[in-house]
Structure 1
Amino acid sequence: MAAVLVREEDKTQRPVYLISKTLQGAETRYTKLEKLAYALLISSRRLKQYFQGHTIILRTDQAIRQVLQKPDLAGRMMAWAVELSQYDLQYEPRQAIQAQAMADFLVEVTGEAPDVPNTRWKLHVDGASNQTFGGAGIILENSAGIAFEQSIKFEFSVSNNQAEYEALIGGLMLAKEVGASRLEVNSDSQVVSSQVNGSYQARDMLLQKYLEKVKELCKGFKEVTIQHVPRERNARADLLSKLASTKPGTGNRSLIQGLATEPAIVMCATQAPNPPSWLDPISRYLEHAETPPNQKEAEFIKREAPKYTIIQGQLYKRGLHQPLLKCLRPDQTDYVLREVHEGCCGHHIGGRSLARKIIRAGYYWPTMMSDAQEFVKKCKKCQENANFHKAPPEELNLMLAPRPFAQWGVDLLGPFPPRPGQVKYLIVAIDYFTKWVEAEPLASISAANCQKFMWKQVVTRFGIPEAVISDNGT
């Protein structure tokens, strides 16, 4: 790599300093953006007095500024970005500059590192999976004694055959990165090795996709042979696949411990195009200045469009005192309502509070207030555990029956301890509606006494009742 420090005077470019460096070892496997960032870092270290005393303008046709300013950088790129942040760096698109030819000439005459001899590499792979974790072990070595050991942990559930294919794909990608051209693959999975060699037929749809991925990677090598070996001859790779469940260590620097967040092959159904929604007219107006044919709708879109903006193909709503709100389609609102209302951080709030909480979460659609209220009304847990107000909405009024004292209940009580007059029984009649009670003590129980009580206490005072209910003891 090469860099040229130039001073511009009256549109004349005057070279100040020339820097060149030959990449060696792992540096040759950097990506193109990593090599550009590394070139800028080496230049800042060698020309530190210039970088500290002046504003440096970097002219390039690569998106190096976006890469160094990403908030989710990791590894060496993050360290380089922190070191370069102390200087006043400005980035401009590269145009026709004379000093660029000088940098290109330096790269051409510097010379490249000698290639690795075209030797045969041996690749040992093994995959492991159980109920708790999955992992892959990879060992890549050649006859010169150069060996690479890698252990990959899977953050997704895999079957045994899927884990073996993931290990094989990871090994082929590692061999491609180190520049191997002739490869001998050893695997203790008879299913995977036989399917790749054509002895077995892959009938599962997922394994067919894995097999196509492996054959596509094999096309990048001059020669690839895959053979099945017993498990005892693949013990080291098997151990590395089981080490995937351990934390990355710092003592063994030769072991590469990686992490796979998603499988190499994902089976997914074809997604139908999104149905028309309220976002489409606004998006078309902001991107292509297209308005609906209806004049009234066109005026409405022109009036509402300044409230929105498009960032990387996604429509957002602007706010005066709030961040940008992501606009959702109608088929996406139900999931957001359910997660905010009853998700891990939801506590079954009301409709208006739910809508305001969704806005604080960063989402928006025009009918969110009414949709939130309707969603709360349909929530089963809210219906079952709500504190219902049991008081009547208005003051209670007495209701008179059309025929009071129409139904009586009669019963005999006793015997009780004798009282004056030798009375020890009690006959009681109660009106069913008004709860009016008529009672009389009796010395003995007889039909005459009961008839006399009903005639005197009930019939003569309240009229003939429509029904008299008794337990047949009267």
Structure 2
Amino acid sequence: MKKGIEFEWTPSCEESFKHFKEILATPPVLGKPKVGEPLYLYLAITDEAMAAVLVQEEGKVQQPIYFVSKALQGAELRYSKLEKLALALLISFCRLPQYFQGHQVVMRTDQGICQILQKPDLAGRMMTWAIQLSQYDLQYEPRHVIKAQAMADFLVEVTGDPTETTSIRWMLHVDGATNQTFGGAGIILESPAGVIYEQSIKFEFPISNNQAEYEALLGGLTLAREVGATRLEVCSDSQVVTSQVNGTYQARDSLLQKYLEKVKELSKQFEEVTIQHVPRERNTRADLLSKLASTKPGVGNRSLIQGLIKEPAVTLHLTKINPSWMDPITVFLESSKLPDDKKTTKALRREAAKYATIQGQLFRKGLSQPLLKCLHPDQMDYVLREVHEGCCGHHIGGKALARKLIRAGYYWPSMMKDSKEFVRKCIKCQENDNFHKAPASELSPLTSS
């Protein structure tokens, strides 16, 4: 036209223009979402980047609607994979609010981010993000086929880590800790994709060391079941717990037996559960979490899930407690209640001065010995059998058995008589005792004439 040539609109130009309008009307990459139809969100992360893809399904075809990508910087590079997933979800909501407000969004993922964000005991930035995400009506579905996930993976340039695709076992590290006032448990669950779930549990009840290890194991199995793990490999530095679960050790304590039954019952909900003993050096992270829970609540503990348990998972309940010699003394010391008989009242006051109650348990005081735990008649037979022929017993005599019971910290009024009677009825003592060769009847002396 600059050279003075007259412009002419030919039929071929008209055909090309129509084709150009069709291309502009139907772009080949991104599409316009249909009103009222749900949108599906896919996430992908690496160590340095994150990406999200929003698609809409038309039959069996997924049409891309929009995508978001971001390079992680500064402190974001040190986030755990679970935090990076939550951050990718939050950034998607912040950059694409018009889609999330006008459509029902369904997130498809193979990670347990839904269970973690819905926990009420989150701490730090994860709690803040969970509150921000709660304003949107977001639903979660398990990811069955890849489809648009391949596009999200392409955006973050995933190279394909063979350790994340070949291994299907979840790794669980548990540890329990106790001190004079509190107890705690540390749980670290790692998915095959490398997403790490950290949980710290504090116990608000008296607990022993073995009981804390079992509580940590039960808490770890519960967390693994909530996030959808099927194959689990458990690592614990407690040789007692691992050996009892594997059957190497026998659980003699009635409370530990109930814990063992609870663990086996919970393990049946998985396809495969293996537990192994590891040195404390290989279980340092779980040990730190358990000590953190047993001291005091932390502040800003990253994506740490902090829990609080007020009652043990397993308790021993006595169906019926028979009356015993301790009842009048305990009632007098706790409520100052006395019988009607004056003679009995005077004797009870004199006898109760030798005893004390600590947390509902009766103890006998002494001048030159520590407090002795008073036993109920239903418990005496078990204690006698364990001290006499247990793992540390060597079938001693009745008087020595009674003195050993006192050194062990137990007391009941007839312990000397009961110890002698128990030794007299012990079959092994009767079979291996060194009897004197004495006549069956007493000899009568005769005087010579």
Tell me if TM exceeds 0.5: no
What TM-score, normalized by structure 2, do the two folds share?
0.38
CA radius of gyration, larger in: 1
What TM-score, normalized by structure 1, do the two folds share?
0.36
